[in-house]
Structures are given as structure tokens and as C-alpha cells.
Structure 1
Amino acid sequence: MTGSPGGVVSTPHTLSTRAGVQILQAGGNAVDAAIAACAVQGVVAPETCGIGGDLFALVHRPGETAPLALNASGRAGSGVDAAALRAAGHEEIPRSHPAAVPVPGCVDGWAELSSRLGQLSLAPVLEPAIRLAEDGFPANDELVAAFRSSAAALAGVEAAAPMVAASRGSTVVRAQLAATLRLVADGGREAFYEGAPGRAISAAVDGVITSDDLRRGQADWVDPLSVDVWGATGWTVPPNSQGYLGIGGCAVLERLGWADDPGDPQSWHLQIEAQRALAAERDDVAVDPSRVPVALDRLLDPARLDAVAASVDPAAARDRHAPALAAGGTAYLCVVDGSGMGVSLIQSNFHGIGSLLGAGSAGFLLQDRGRGFSLIPGHPGELAPGRRPLHTLSPTLWTRGDRLAMVLGTRGGHVQPQLVQQVAAFVLGAGLDPDEAQARPRWTIEPPSGPTGAPAPSGSRVRVEPDVSARVVDGLRRRGHEVIPADGPQSGWGPVSVIQVDDATGWRLSARDPRVATTAVATA
């Protein structure tokens, strides 16, 4: 476990963590360090994120009770047409269809964070990423596997060529991306959205995204959602994010009288049912903010959470609607600096490397986050121009009064709130330190199996990591859960990044997730 009275950076990649530390040491604050780490992550791990994707962030400023929340998720282009897709026989948006690509929000997110909260300008903050793109970096196993599996689909995509050609340990140079990052460093969001990169985005999606779409800002400061649980307040970004399910699941779990006991099936049953009970509504609620069927300030209302907790059977798994599966190509990172500023930031391509479309010679791939839209007529999440899609990204930030208690998040697509709930419960509810919490075996929920052509089943199907005892597995099965033991630690159930701030000493405590080899924590 890593501990420090000063700055701490936790990211999914050693080079990203190193960049964050360098910026802190150069006089930047936690926001500057988070942007630097995010930019490097998109260079060295494009199978997780990049400037063709979206971004969410929460920022704690010392002495303030509520964090700032940024929704930098892109909107559907003006040329999308749900009716045309339905007429063509589609029940969901195909991965490489132009409608799968909303306007990328990442660069707008960087620009907003930097201008409002940064200590340094974007130029020095982006320099570590530019250097790595120009000089090269070693390819790791995840990068190589992701691009080899999609090599045929990526043939002729300029932005993917350096990674498609990579082998483990070979040097990857991304000169085109370096040039685009320099444009952003020198000219800000206008150079990206209204310059050559923006034109390349529009061309890649056959004009579905217009110049007016690109000119419109994609980053909005929004009111965060919060809930009080285990003596702390959990915060997240509201829908179109599903983040409320993580902190809300914790509040339901507390209401159920949960007590941590890794060998007791009842402890596991309550964790799983707390999340299943709340998440049953996700597909109708985590939609464009203007379309959410529940008032945002009511989503985590105590009475609403009381009702969810009352619906849980402490003795058996109940039938619930299971949220749709959603892949994850995501990077979550967090930073706490010496002043006590904390940043919880998540950035994503969505489906691994995204849509398989590249932005011409601009050197980056485009997300397929538009696949979070529904094609069902009248659905709250129905595809339409200017709307934001359902987002799996679920960053959290935790406070006690005006003091930072923890920053926490993960990749994992639809399972992100499940992992957030588990680790938050271990740290805040059970009092484990981050190292102990990271080592605990995890569970995830997925839609249950059923006969082909039958109505969608609604029971509980749970996967568990190998260290779960036979007593727990048998006890869950007796309570009605279909339990599938995984054959090893699951790299896709993380990496969770977490920095806890000790209430008594102010020390920042963090531990890397052992499930992913590249994950790194370092102090400044």
C-alpha cells in the first residue's frame, strides 16, 4: 500500500501515473495532473480511452462541501435518424455505423477543467503525452491483444496502423496523434473541434456530425448527486451517467443492515440484492438529462432508497429486470494533491477501441458511445440529434463535511457501479484499508441465461472470482442465485483506482489493483 501526506496519483498505466506525478512536481495541481495522466493514457492505452471519446470528472476543492461535477459527454450528430435505422432492420445501433459516434467530449472536458481549475496552461500539461506519441512507448499485452483481434476491421484505418503493427515490447510511435495534441496544446478546443481534427471527425461519419455540432460545447458543469452513507457523503455525476447506482447501492446496503463477513453467504446476498434492486431501472433512467423520467434531485431521495431497500428479500433473490450488457473500453484515474484538492476522472472509448472508425490523419479513433441509445420509439433513451446517450461511466468522490474522504472508480462497462459499491463498502462500511479492499474477491451481475427465443429471464446470475469459498457459493445458490465461479482473477473487473484520505492524519492511502499488470500508484 502507498501512503503519503502529499500528492498521490493512481491510474491504470505506469506511464500515466508517472505523467501525473511529473506535473505535480512541476507545480501543477490535482486537475493539471489528472489531465496529463488522462492524455498519456489515451496515447499509450488507446484500447481504453482517447481524445475520440468522452469524459466525466468530479473535483473537490479544500474547504468546500460539494464537489464540482463535469459532464463532458458528447451529443448525437444532427444527421442521426432512428427511424431510418429501424427501417433498415436494426434493433440496435451497429458498432461502426456513423450514428454510433457522438461528438467526442474529451477535449472539451480538458479545456473546461484546465481553464476553470488548473494551475498550469494546457501546453505543459499535455507535453508528456506529446513526447510519448512522438518518441514512442513500449506496447503491452492488452494493447497488442485488442488491436490484433480487430486487425481485419481496422485495415486501412490510419489512426490504428501503429498499434495494429505492434508486438509485445515493440516501440509504438503515434506521430499523427502527437501533431493533433500539439494543436490542442497551442490552440485549445477551437483548434480541435473547428480545425482539421474536427473536419476529419465529420468526414469519418459521412457528415452525420456537422460543423455546427462540433462548434457546440460538449462540456457542462452540472449539479452532482449525493447520498449520505457510513458517516460519509458519496458524490457522482447525474444521468446520463449510471454513477448514481454505485453510491445509491451503498445506501441501500446500509439500510439492509449489512455487516461485512467474507465467509457468510448472507453478507454476499445483501450486497448483490442491493445493487440488483436499484439497477433494475437503469436503462430507463441513465439517459439524456432532459429525458430522465425521475426528477434528478429525487433519484437518491431517502424515501426512494427506503422503498428500494424494502423491496429486497433478505432470504432470497427476487426476479428483477437486468440492465443491458455494455462493454467497457475505459480508463479511470484519481489524484489528490498536497493542498487536499482531489480529482475523480474517467475517460472512455466505450467498446474497447471504440467504433473501429478513425479520424482520418488526425491520429485517433472514434468512440461508439452512441450504442447506448435505444431504437425503441418513445423510449427515454431513444436516439435523436443533440441528445446524450446512456453512459456507463461512474466516477465517485466521497467527503466528510468539507474534507475529502476518498476518490474511487473503475472501468468495467455496465459493472462499474457494482465494483464501486463493493470497494466503497469494504473501505467505508467495513473499515478496510485500500490494500485489503483491493485484495477481496469480487462479484458481478449479468443477465441470466434462458432458452433461445424465450422472454428475457429475470433471475439472478452472478459471477464470482475464484477465492470465494464453497460455503458462500452454496449459500448463494440456496438463496436462488445462479452462481458461476470464474476461472481466475478478472482483469475486466477493474482496475479499480482508489485514494483514501485518513480522517485523523490526512495521509493519502492507496493501493494498486492486482488484477491489471499496468496499474500504478505513486507519490509526488
Structure 2
Amino acid sequence: MRNFERPTRSVAVSRHAMAATSHPSATLTALQIMEAGGNAIDAAIAACAVQCVVEPGSTGIGGDCFALYTASGSDKVIAYNGSGRTPAALTADWFNERGLTKVPRQSPASVTVPGAIDAWTRLHADHGTLPFADVLAPAIRFAEEGYAITPRVHRDWSVEQKLLAADVTAARIFLPGGRAPRIGEVHRQPELAQTLKRIAAEGRDAFYGGPVAEDMVSYLNSLGGLHTLEDLANTRGEYVTPVTTDFRGYTIHECPPNGQGIIALLILNILSRFDAKGDPQSSDRLHVEIEATRLAYAARDAWIADPEKADVPVDQLLSGELADRLAGMIDLRKALTDLPPFEMPLHRDTVYISVVDRNRNAVSFINSIFDSFGTGLVSPCSGVILHNRGQSFSLKPGHPNRIGPSKRPLHTIIPGMVTRNGRVEISFGVMGGYYQALGHAHLISKVLDYGMDLQEAIDLPRVMPTSNGTRVEAEHTIDGSTKAELERRGFTFTPAEEPIGGAQAIRIDWENGTLTGASEPRKDGIALGI
């Protein structure tokens, strides 16, 4: 039971339908779409399109998208991989010739072909009910008429002023008056409004061909990029079979590689080898979660890649033998010091959306431009922010995730679902780049192991192991005595530079016929139902 004297919020509760997003305008849009006769897919796409306008640092139509969907509340979960590929002409030699050891951020080399619009239009064509123009209409209105800047959006925008100032179009659109808009100011994106109108009228071809595609390709080429109109025209996402694991009597569903959802399942498999009792934020429990994450992420960085271009050992990653072996390495007396070397990308920006409609169609939907404002490069005529997902590639010879032509990178964005007894029970997701796999496992464990409601689990203080040995970033709300005990065991804690991650989730109560939802207090959003 929630302590009502603590400054937090209750879960949202409703009978008919619910949406949870990281921006109030997106949540409200999703509900309005469903009240107008749309279903969960319509609502999720509409909400995401709105966030591409009102939360431009977090997501955009120049990014990628993944989704899990189930119809009529069943446990038959389908997955869609809407991640784009590198240009066909881009090879690792391109970087070697320039003496580069990493993919630079504000460079066309980090721009993979955006997959989001392909994903939206395919999912809508296959599962939506409203006309696509109606689904995009709210986003077009916000882009054209303006939207008010919310606190977290302002904070993230302000951090990237230097990046935005380095691109002429980005500076013109996103730094009016030479600065980031302040809280409560109204901002407009007329170029993006026109692009969205084209897509609303013509579908995916308006983005992957014609003036919009020409604008993106010509701009990237002017900066030295190798993108072609053929690269965009050939872009296709795909339906894929979810990967799953059983945890405490529930089935957890994730998108398969090239995403890192399988690593969330590996962490849960490790956690399942430990009893969950007592304080969910105790030093012993955090010790186990930190070490499980470090071990699972070492496996991720060794093996996760585009399965079309590399052999990804899915069965091995999900095996009980691997979970047993990794769990056996965890010693509650001291931190592990003999992990294999691995690299972790930093925090990234993403939006996650959960929607359940009256018919209990459920969608877990995530859309990202990776870093805040992606590359910081904006196509001059179309207003499209270009993402920097190519930075997730390795440049190491022989690595399965090494950059190459027409290849998808290891992807951090992962939607999640939970089913039991033939029905979907929870649609959930976590934002925050590489934190997401840990975030999924942390959220599900707190709900299923400790009986917390969704909002309580999301509100908990967060920690995040880094690539620097036993160093762990911690939010300031982590208990001081707990940190001291973990430091005695060999961990080194440093303050997190920003709030760690974000989450949204909706749970279906089949017995009562109701919905409960939760939204991230570290963001601006809300969960609302009708």
C-alpha cells in the first residue's frame, strides 16, 4: 500500500482504456484517438508522433522504432523490428582510412536509415482502424500551431545547445533567439508539420522517396555521407518472433536481437536463482542486481549484433546453464573483479509508450533518436532530426557488431510484455539507453518478486553499473547506509549525472476488468485512463 505522506503519485486506474507516456500531450492524444474509435495501435502511433514534435530531444521521425502487440488480450505476442540499416556503401575501411576508432556523433557516418516511419505505416496498415491521416493529425497541429515547453523537455533541450548551434538548420529551428526555449514558452516546427502532412497523405513513400528523401540524402551527402535514395527506398522493417523466458510463473516477452531485450531476460534468469525477500533496496539485493547486470552486459557486448550479418547465440543466452554459471559467480561478500572487458554506451534519449484499449488490444511501443537530439543534424527543408544510432556499432575487426554495409547495429531500445494463463497482463518499457535491460529486469522483479504496484516500482531509486570496473552510478535517493555497505564490498559509487532512465507500464486486472497504469516521475508524463 502506498504511503500517502510521501511526495509521489498513485497508479492511474480505469475501466475501459489507458495510455502511459512521458509527455502529457501524448497521453491525452492517445486517449482522444481511442475515444474517436481508434484502437491501441492507432493511439500508440498518434502519441509517438506527438512526442516527435513536443519532445524533440527524445524522439523523432528520423529515428527507429520497435513494438510488441497482442490482440484481444491474448498471449500471442507479435514483434516488429523497425530499426534501419547503414548505407550500402559504408564499410569499416571508411573509418580506417580516416583514422577513426569510434563512430563520431555529429557526423553522417552515425546516421543509419531511419526505420520509424516504415514501422508506423506497416503496423497501422496491418492492425490500425482509423485513417492514417487522422492518426497524424494531432502531431501536425502541434508542429504547426505550437506547443508549450514542459520542464524535463526544457532541461534536456538546454543541455544540447552547443550541439544544436553547430548545425545551421538545427540552430534556426531549435534555438530561436539563440537559446533553448524556456518552460512555458511556445515552440513551432513548420517544416516538420509539412513533412508530417506529406506522410499523412501519401504514407511511407512520402518519407522514403520524393522531396523528403531527397532533402535528407542531399544534406547527408553534402557532409560527406554515403547515403543514397536507393538506401532509403529499400528500407524495410520486419515482423520477428519474440524471445521469452519464464519468471516466477509469468512469461516475459522481448524483441529478439539486434535489440538488447534478450539481455533483460538473461538478467531475470540470473535473478531467478536468488530468493527475493526482505527489503527490495537492501544491500544484498542491489548487490545481486548490479552483478547480474555487469555479467549480462558483458555477454551482450560480446554477442549481440544484426542476426542477418552475424551468428547471435540466442539459445545459449537464454539457457539455464548460462544463468546458473553467471549466478554462481556472484559473491555477496565482495564485488567481482574478473569480468571480461566490455564497452557500454552512455545514457540515451528515447520515448516509450504503453496503450491498452477497450478490447484489450495491447501495444508496447518505443521510438528513439538515440542521443538527445540525435546527431544534432537537421535536414534543411523537411525539418527531420537525424539520429546517431550508428554509434552503437563497434569498429573492432572481427566483432559481430562491427559496422558494415546495409547492417543494423546493436539496439538499446526494447519494448516488453508479460503474459500468464493465456492472457497478456503487463505492457511495459523503460527508457535510458543501455540502462533499459537492467530497467526491465528491475521493474519486473520489483512487481513480481516483491508485490509492488507499478508506480511504486518505477519510483524506486536507481543504480547503474558502468564500464569502469566496479564503479556504479547512483541516484541521490539511494540510502546512504546501503551505499556504504556496498562500497565496503568493493563497489565504488558516483552520483548519476542525470536521472537514470524512465518507464511506463499498464497492468490488466482480468478479475475486476480494470486497468492500472504508471508513468515515470523523472519525466513530464502521466498515465491516464477512460
Same fold by TM-score greater than 0.5: yes
| Alpha-carbon distance, 1:116 to partner | 0.9
Which whole-Å CA distance do the structure 1 matches of 2:329 and 2:310 have between them?
22
Residues 83-138 of structure 1 show CA distances to partners (whole Å, capped at 9, x for unaligned) of 12122111101112211001000100101110111111211011110111111001
**1:139 Cα deviation from its structure 2 partner:** 2.0
Matched residues in 2 for 1:279 and 1:148: separation? 31
Q: CA deviation at 1:24?
A: 0.6
1:133-175: CA deviation from partner (whole Å, max 9, x where unpaired): 1110012344444444444543453355232113332211111
Q: CA deviation at 1:190?
A: 0.8
Question: Which shows bigger deviation, 86-95 or 150-159?
Answer: 150-159
Structure 1 Cα separation of the partners of residues 73 and 247 of structure 2: 20
Q: How does 1:92-131 map to 2 (within 5 A)?
A: 92-131=102-141
Aligned to 2:401: 381
- The answer (yes or no) to whether the contact 1:144–1:163 under 8 Å persists in 2 is no
Distance (whole Å) between structure 1 residues aligned to residue 190 and residue 278 of structure 2 = 50
Q: Is residue 163 from structure 1 mapped to residue 163 from structure 2 by the alignment?
A: no
Distance 1:271 1:153 in 2: 35
Unaligned residue ranges in structure 1 (runs of 5+)? 449-458
Q: Which one of the candidate residues 143, 154, 170 is aligned to 1:133? A: 143
Structure 2 counterpart of 1:370, which letter?
Answer: G
* Paired residue secondary structure (1:432): coil
Question: In the TM superposition, what is the alpha-carbon distance from 1:243 to its structure 2 partner?
Answer: 1.5
Q: Does 2:438 align with 1:423?
A: no
Mapping of residues 315-334 of structure 1, within 5 Å: 315-319=333-337, 320=339, 321-334=341-354
Structure 2: distance between partners of 1:434 and 1:464: 21
Identity of aligned residues (%): 35
- How far the C-alpha of 1:362 sits from its partner, in A, is 0.3
The 8 Å contact of residues 2 and 521 in structure 1, kept in 2 or not, is answered as: yes
Q: Is the 8 A contact 1:180 1:197 kept in 2?
A: yes
Counterpart Cα distance in 2 of 1:149 and 1:463: 19
| Structure 2 counterpart of 1:482, one-letter code | T
Cα distance, 1:315 vs. partner? 3.0
The alignment status of 1:225 with 2:278, answered yes or no, reads no
- Give 2:54's aligned residue: 44
* Kept after mapping to 1: 8 A contact 2:14/2:516: yes
SS of the residue corresponding to residue 396 of structure 2 reads coil
**Corresponding position: 1:507 with 2:518:** no
TM-score for the superposition, normalised by structure 2: 0.92
Aligned to 2:217: 202
Structure 2 residue matching 1:511: 3-state secondary structure: strand
Check if 1:462 corresponds to 2:472.
yes
1:359 aligns with 2:359: no
Unaligned ranges ≥5, structure 2:
1-10
Does the CA contact (< 8 Å) of 1:393 and 1:413 recur in 2? yes
Letter in 2 for 1:203: S
Match in the other structure for 2:525: 519
Cα distance in 2 for partners of 1:391, 1:462 equals 22
CA contact (8 A) 1:270 1:314 kept: yes
Counterpart CA distance in 2 for 1:161 and 1:249 is 44
1:164 to 1:278, Cα distance in 2 relative to 1, 3 A? same
Q: Are the equivalent residues in 1 in contact too, given 2:15–2:529 (CA < 8 A)?
A: no
Q: CA RMSD in A?
A: 1.9
The structural deviation recorded for 1:396 is 0.8
Aligned to 2:320: 302
Q: Which residue of 1 aligns with 2:392?
A: 372
Please tell me the residue identity of whatever aligns with 2:331: D
- Where 1:496 maps in the other structure, the secondary structure is strand
Give the distance between the partners of 2:281 and 2:504, measured in 1 at CA: 25
Distance 1:144 1:486 in 2: 19
User: Could you tell me how far 1:75 is from its partner in structure 2?
Assistant: 0.2
- Preserved CA contact (<8 Å) 2:309 2:407: no
Provide the C-alpha distance between the structure 2 equivalents of 1:91 and 1:249, rounded to a whole number of angstroms.
Answer: 30
8 A Cα contact 1:284 1:293, kept in partner: no
Q: Which residue does 2:305 correspond to in 1?
A: 287
1:298 Cα deviation from its structure 2 partner: 3.9
User: Does the alignment pair 1:65 with 2:62?
Assistant: no
**Residue 452 of structure 2: aligned partner:** 432
* Deviates most, 278-287 or 9-18: 278-287
Q: Secondary structure at the match of 2:259?
A: coil
User: Quick check: 2:113–2:235 contact (8 Å CA) kept in 1?
Assistant: no
Letter in 2 for 1:21: L
Equivalents in 2 of 1:151, 1:279: separation in Å?
32
Hey, what's the Cα distance between the residues in 2 that align with 1:463 and 1:14? 29
Is 1:57–1:346's contact at 8 Å kept on the other side of the alignment?
A: yes
Which residue of the partner structure matches residue 451 of structure 1? none
1:27 aligned counterpart, secondary structure: coil
Corresponding residue number in structure 1 for 2:265: 247
Q: Is the 8 A contact 2:253 2:418 kept in 1?
A: yes
Give the Cα–Cα distance (whole angstroms) in 2 for the partners of residues 263 and 330 of structure 1.
26
- Tell me the equivalent position of 1:273: 291
The match for 1:453 is none
TM-score normalised per structure 1: 0.93
**Distance in 1 (alpha carbons) for counterparts of 2:314 and 2:308:** 10
Q: Tell me, in whole angstroms, the C-alpha distance in 1 between the residues paired with 2:320 and 2:171.
A: 48
Q: Deviations over 1:68-93 (max 9, x none)?
A: 10100000012313212122111101
Q: In the superposition, relative to structure 1, how do residues 163 and 97 fare at CA in structure 2: closer, same or farther (>3 Å)?
A: closer
